[in-house]
Amino acid sequence: MNEFISPVPMPALDATAPEVCRQIYGMPMFTKIPADDFEASKRFWIEALGFIDLFTIPGQLTHLRRWAFQDVLLVPGDGAPRATGTEVSFTCVLSQIDELVDRCEDLVPGCTSRSETPWNSTDLTIITPENTRVVMTAARPIVPGSVEEQNLRDIGWGTLES
């Protein structure tokens, strides 16, 4: 078995996002998303969400990737209406949230909303052109002795050491 260290940095205000991963590997998890307007969806995922086109099989599939293990397979849709219940989350760093909002809103105005979670993350929810709910989630640093640290202790978490 290979040992793999997560690409996700420890929570910090100055955390740096890892580079896009172009390595070919056995994917432990991926999301397959049908898109009726394939090109509009592909453009949004690449230009707004920061994914790359790892490879495309014309008319069948585009494999999108961001960080390691953040894989999305766009496939042609069948024209059937889709519910907005599909949700997929990807980790990002705090410094990427505002940039993601700007890029997403430039392409599809009104597609984003932001929230702070009780588990100490900032979440950016985005509705994509194919009606997928994408949540970009960035961990906030835990300040020792803070209300946030106590809230996490109250639900059973210890303090994360960097």
pLDDT tens-digit map of 65-91: 999 999 999 999 887 776 666 789 999
97-143 pLDDT, tens per residue? 999 999 999 999 999 999 998 888 999 999 999 889 999 999 998 88
pTM: predicted TM-score of the whole model, two decimal places: 0.84
- Return the ∠ at Cα 90 (arms to 85 and 93), rounded to 5°: 140
CB atoms within 10 A of CB 69: 18
Q: How large is the greatest C-alpha to C-alpha distance in the chain, in angstroms?
A: 55
CATH of 31-154, one of 3.40.30.10, 3.10.180.10, 3.90.700.10, 3.40.462.20: 3.10.180.10
Q: Which residues contact 23 (CB under 8 A, 6 or more apart)?
A: 68
